[in-house]
Structure 1
Amino acid sequence: MTDAQPNPNAKFKRRIFSGIQPSGNLTLGNYLGALRRFVEKQDEGIETIYCLVDLHAITVWQDPDALRHQTREAAAGFIAAGIDPERSILFNQSQVGGHAELAWLMNCVARMGWMNRMTQWKDKAGKNAEKASLGLFAYPSLMAADILLYHATEVPVGEDQKQHVELTRDIAAKFNHDYKVDFFPQPDSVIEGAATRVMSLRDGTKKMSKSDPSDASRINLTDSPDAIAKKIRKAVTDPEPLPETLEGLEGRAEARNLVNIYAALAGKTPAEVLGEYGGEGFGKFKPALADLAVSVMEPINAEMNRLMQDPAEIDRILGRGAEQADAIARPILEKTYEIMGMVRSR
């Protein structure tokens, strides 16, 4: 920020908030694009709050038993990836009532036109918008409430979620303007790393997704080493060898994706990977990538399996995290009610 553009968040404590839906297997994309960065943020002296957003999950129908299992499995994935409940707050969204309460208040600040412009609403509802839930339409307002409830100043997100953080900034600015206060910060998107957007192993133009019908399109954190190696060996590629420069990856989405994945797993730049493997065919590169992926993912998989043997311990961790989260959220929510003119007499 320059003197002409003062930091609007300077008065607020630096605090990170981010969440992932517990709607199925966490993938390599979740790990490289989110979880690993979450872990690194624990060492940067910033308060970190990580949430399993089960209220977002139910914007489309969820089997209750499956949702419970997926929430615990996602929590296990966070912990196995390195999230330390002693250093970060980890909880599931529905255990902190302030998320739903503030979402309603923000619904009354957000404008319909803003919601209509959300690309994910258009993508998810498509031609069946009339049959989609009201929650699916309004969930960007809930996402804004998730962030604002903690006065978060930084939100690690993928490119596809950046629009929602921009909406959060708009909602915060309108609230502050309408009520003539400087109460909510303007949270910043944090997008970093060589593989913040990991693509499908079957189609390099599509994001790796836990909702893709093809399990071969993704590497799940629950996959065995053999399954990981098999999926990488069968990943779609082209017949050309890897280029020696990044420019040579233009128009080669699948090749670029595998190079980016290798780079992220190895802690290198894509250019460094091409410096090592440029000119080589995928017959050599894929086995190297498979070995690297297994070496990183196998310990996470083993720890997840161990944690899932004790769901009561996972529930205890989530419950304690919810108490910690509520201790931060409740005063902010109460002040929001006060600013908006609600009588608070108990």
Structure 2
Amino acid sequence: MLRHGCRVAVAKRFSSTVQRVDYKLDARDIPNDATIFSMIQPTGKFHLGNYLGATRVWQDLCDLKQPDQKLLFGIADLHALTIPKPNVQEFRQFRNEAIASILAVGVDPQRATVMHQSSIPQHSQLHWLLSTLASMGYLNRMTQWKSKSNLKQPTLDAGAIGNVKLGLFSYPVLQAADVLIYRATHVPVGDDQSQHLELTRYLAEQFNSTYKTDYFPLPKTLLAPTKKILSLASPDKKMSKSDTNQESVIYVNDEPNVIAKKIRKAVTDSIMDHFNYDPVNRPGVSNLINIISGIQRKSIQEVEKDVSHMNNFKDFKNYVTEVIVEELKGPREQFARFMKEPGYLDQVVKRGTEEAQELAENNYKEIAKIVGL
């Protein structure tokens, strides 16, 4: 069931546009006429954080889809270019692997539209229109461009800011266009993207107010039962494919013996007679408990109870390994299958592009008419 509220500060007028779902989506959580949109960066094959933090929710939405609902899931390849990709062949491979990963985790292309962001030019067209409504001051308050530029308060200075690329600074406006071009009503995201959805609603309001229309709905931030998975080696940071220590990352296509090896090496602590969730004092153990909680869709307290009889790290880590291996068995096998069928991946993207293109083109024609183009 849904609970209203959010752990991050949101503007009062947006408080009713944030929904949190506990553990697993229910058919009653989403209106029958909802348009649901979300994208993920093309970093190649997914890791456990991508899976539990985003794409498994997409699978849930496919399973629950009603006839009048629209599901649109994409690869944010334009966003990925905010950090240039000079190795073009690798970038294209990552795009293909991302599509294969989406399908491998259970997204049904018969129920959901799957496409590359760059294939729908209306994203960029609406981006320009919305950029005329977005203030520099508002964009300056966005946190991710600062973190991706390695800029930290209070050391920000004119020189450092002057080196930030325009695309990185303004990409939240493109992100808003991604959502609004489809007139999406719900966007499943993690807490770290809530700020960008606030901007999306703000720009939707600005557009509606400026042009005296109610064309854009204010999309709801669907804080679905996602889990922020941390590095196995450094549980003070998120699990990331770019981590130089690849032992800290579990991929959906890792073989069972590889997963076992990585979990055995996972950072824990010196307390062996019990295992409890304490992110401050026991970050490594807490991360493993959080992983179990996410996979099993159980509360932290339930997981703590399940492992309460264990009194050594061997038993605890073996249990974590078994849970992960069993969960990723299907996705691992499906990913291998899809990567051997590039023609099928092209077919899925082609069909998804046509579906998304039709909706985006029809909407943009109406938007252009509203603004006088």
Taking structure 1 as the reference length, the TM-score comes to 0.91
Q: Which stretch of the first structure deviates more once superposed, 78-87 or 307-316?
A: 307-316
Match of 1:212 in 2: 243
The equivalent position to 1:33 in structure 2, one of 39, 53, 56, is 53
Q: 1:31 to 1:177 in 2, by over 3 A?
A: same
Contact (CA 8 Å) 2:17, 2:219: kept in 1 or not?
A: no
The secondary structure found in structure 1 opposite 2:63 is coil
| Identity %, equivalent residues | 38
Match of 1:79 in 2: 103
The reply on whether 1:170 has 2:202 as its aligned counterpart is: yes
Q: How far 1:188 sits from its partner (Å)?
A: 1.4
Q: How far 1:245 sits from its partner (Å)?
A: 6.2
Separation of aligned partners in 1, 2:17 and 2:42: 33
Separation of aligned partners in 2, 1:7 and 1:199: 30
Separation of aligned partners in 2, 1:103 and 1:5: 22
The one-letter amino acid of 1:192's match is A
Separation of aligned partners in 2, 1:14 and 1:181: 20
Q: How far 1:30 sits from its partner (Å)?
A: 0.6
Match of 2:25 in 1: none
**Number of aligned positions between the proteins:** 338
Q: How far 1:282 sits from its partner (Å)?
A: 2.4
Separation of aligned partners in 2, 1:242 and 1:109: 58
The equivalent position to 2:354 in structure 1, one of 323, 328, 332, is 323
Match of 1:141 in 2: 173
Q: Which stretch of the first structure deviates more once superposed, 213-222 or 138-147?
A: 213-222
Q: Give the unaligned 5+ runs of structure 1.
A: none
The secondary structure found in structure 1 opposite 2:73 is strand
Match of 2:131 in 1: 107
CA RMSD of aligned residues (A): 2.4
Match of 2:76 in 1: 53
Separation of aligned partners in 2, 1:302 and 1:130: 47
Match of 1:276 in 2: 306
Q: How far 1:320 sits from its partner (Å)?
A: 0.6
Q: 1:319 to 1:124 in 2, by over 3 A?
A: same
Contact (CA 8 Å) 2:100, 2:339: kept in 1 or not?
A: yes
Q: How far 1:264 sits from its partner (Å)?
A: 1.5
1:18-41: per-residue Cα shift (whole Å, max 9, x none)?
000103331101111111111001
Q: Which stretch of the first structure deviates more once superposed, 249-258 or 225-234?
A: 249-258
Q: How far 1:145 sits from its partner (Å)?
A: 0.3
Contact (CA 8 Å) 1:263, 1:269: kept in 2 or not?
A: yes
The equivalent position to 2:118 in structure 1, one of 94, 100, 123, is 94
The one-letter amino acid of 1:115's match is L
The secondary structure found in structure 2 opposite 1:72 is helix
Contact (CA 8 Å) 1:242, 1:255: kept in 2 or not?
A: no
Contact (CA 8 Å) 2:279, 2:287: kept in 1 or not?
A: no
1:240-292: per-residue Cα shift (whole Å, max 9, x none)?
1475765x555322221110101221232211111111253322111111111
Q: How far 1:187 sits from its partner (Å)?
A: 1.1
The equivalent position to 2:211 in structure 1, one of 179, 182, 191, is 179
Q: Which stretch of the first structure deviates more once superposed, 195-204 or 165-174?
A: 195-204
The equivalent position to 1:314 in structure 2, one of 323, 337, 345, is 345
The one-letter amino acid of 1:108's match is T
Separation of aligned partners in 2, 1:103 and 1:210: 29
Match of 1:122 in 2: 146
Q: How far 1:311 sits from its partner (Å)?
A: 1.4
Separation of aligned partners in 1, 2:197 and 2:370: 23
Q: How far 1:104 sits from its partner (Å)?
A: 1.1
Q: 1:126 to 1:249 in 2, by over 3 A?
A: closer
1:28-80: per-residue Cα shift (whole Å, max 9, x none)?
01111111111001133242110001111111111211111111101100111
1:168-219: per-residue Cα shift (whole Å, max 9, x none)?
01111111111111111111111232x5211111122211122222212211
Contact (CA 8 Å) 1:16, 1:48: kept in 2 or not?
A: yes
1:126-155: per-residue Cα shift (whole Å, max 9, x none)?
345433431111110110000001111111
Separation of aligned partners in 1, 2:177 and 2:190: 18
Contact (CA 8 Å) 1:208, 1:218: kept in 2 or not?
A: yes
The secondary structure found in structure 1 opposite 2:149 is helix
1:303-327: per-residue Cα shift (whole Å, max 9, x none)?
1111111212211110110100111
Contact (CA 8 Å) 1:260, 1:270: kept in 2 or not?
A: yes
Match of 1:43 in 2: 63
Taking structure 2 as the reference length, the TM-score comes to 0.85
Contact (CA 8 Å) 1:242, 1:279: kept in 2 or not?
A: no
Contact (CA 8 Å) 1:8, 1:185: kept in 2 or not?
A: no
Q: How far 1:8 sits from its partner (Å)?
A: 8.1
The equivalent position to 1:294 in structure 2, one of 325, 333, 340, is 325
